[in-house]
Amino acid sequence: MSNASDTLRLTLSPQLSELTRVRNKLDRYLRDGSLPDTVRCTLLVVAEEILTNIVHYGCCDDTSDTIEVKVGQENAVVHMEFIDSGKPFNPLKEAGRETAGQLVDNLELGGIGVRLVRELTNHQEYTRKAGRNHFQITKHIWPSK
């Protein structure tokens, strides 16, 4: 990720009511980074999908649990990391490889968000470290040649 002073760091409780606050701060950070609107909007959708999944499926009911979000821009790539203390869960392993279009064609439900995140980002990685889930994504600002 970029140097620490350029990194957005947010801590939130695992509640859906926190999504608006996070979205507003993330939007402001991405606008300050002069990202194209299409990239900024894509990253807002991705962040909302990942955080919604963490709140609904990953985090415990313990209100002392927190979710951390780190966002940085380095050269022409935006890096985002989502960290939570919920149960171990690798969304990349659990979700199939079908595209969102194939899912709509087959009218399947469940796992669509992770597939969408895969399609909208260039790289995704899951690790479990020190009892916490770490889900990282990268998005190229300009298409790769």
Cα–Cα distance for residue pair 90/134, rounded to 1 Å: 9
| Residue among 138, 4, 11, 22 at smallest CA distance from 85 | 11
pLDDT over 70, % of the chain: 78
Q: pTM for this one? A: 0.84
CATH number at residue 115: 3.30.565.10
Domain of 35 in residue numbering reads as: 4-140
In-domain check, residue 89: yes
In-domain check, residue 103: yes
pLDDT digits (tens, 9 = 90+) for 16-71: 999 999 999 999 999 998 899 999 999 999 999 999 989 888 766 566 689 999 99
In-domain check, residue 145: no
What confidence score (pLDDT) does residue 107 get?
A: 44
Q: How many domains does the chain have?
A: 1
In-domain check, residue 27: yes
